[in-house]
Amino acid sequence: MKARRTLLFTSGKGGVGKSTLAVNVASALARRGLSVGILDADLHGPSVPRMLGLEGERVRWSEGPQSRMLPAENFGLKVMSVGLTTPESDTPLVWRSSVAVSALKQMLEDTAWGELDLLVIDAPPGTGDVQLTLAQDLHLSGAVVVITPQPVATDDVRRALRMLVETHVPIMGVVENLSGFVAPDGTVHHLFGEGGGRMLAKDYGVPFLGSLPLDPALRELCDAGRPAAAVGSEALQRQFADLAGRILDGIAPAVPR
């Protein structure tokens, strides 16, 4: 694999919208004309294929003596996920850590990615073997930490952030997701509390990249396999384009603008 930069999306906790952000930021970067791949490293709960309309796809192999897996492609992204390798979409992967790490390395090394400006990696929740392999073996260009405002989520994300610090992974910043719901009358309801992302960024001395509201339209597009950054409303597209720009600023000039 030849990627100029690798960008990790992580949280330490499931259900915070990490995959949603990874897919939409990757899509926004591809819309800038960059060559972008996305690796779904959540081996036990892969969701990237559905979010990119690829849930019916299955992995194909190149021809020749050194056959390699061909990434699926949609919305300008090259995609590899364990969800593309199972016989059925609900096939459980009951793997021990050593097998999961081996599968991750195979998806990285045996996929015909081609030359990429950027490889986006959607990490699984937690701080186990897979996350440690990503942090130690990939020479990551940076990590984006995704959080929701409530204290329980903040506790888990602190552990993931501390792991990044201790493994010397550059932290691009913190994104607070589901930060509030804007009602039709314009009032904002903070269903999960508020301020957790800013507080975490301040505590660890890293940039706060912004907050994203709870938006039913975004959820509907994700479920339909249509990234909002590519086909959503003008406001949604601008939201992810702006976030992608702030992230890109942190890893330039190695990645062209």
CATH of the domain at 106: 3.40.50.300
Indicate whether 193 belongs to any domain. yes
Q: What percent of the chain has pLDDT over 70?
A: 97
Give yes or no for a contact between 173 and 246, defined as CB atoms under 8 angstroms apart: yes
Would residue 257 count as lying in a domain?
Answer: no
Angle, helices 18-30 vs 234-251, to 10°: value is 80
Residue 210 is assigned to a structural domain of this protein: yes
- Taking CA atoms, 5 is separated from 15, 115, 159, 170, 241, in Å, by 26, 11, 25, 12, 19
Whether 186 is covered by a domain: the verdict is: yes
Positive or negative, the Cα torsion across 255, 210, 230, 145?
A: positive
* Residue 228 within any structural domain of the chain: yes
pLDDT band at 202; cut points 50, 70, 90: very high
Is the entire prediction scored with pTM above 0.75? Answer: yes
> Higher-confidence residue: 184 or 123?
123
**Number of domains present in the structure of the chain:** 1
Average pLDDT, the chain: 89
Residue 124 domain-assigned?
Answer: yes
Residue 207 belongs to what domain range? 5-251
More confident residue, 166 or 64: 166
Distances (CA, A) of 6 to 58, 197, 203: 25, 23, 25
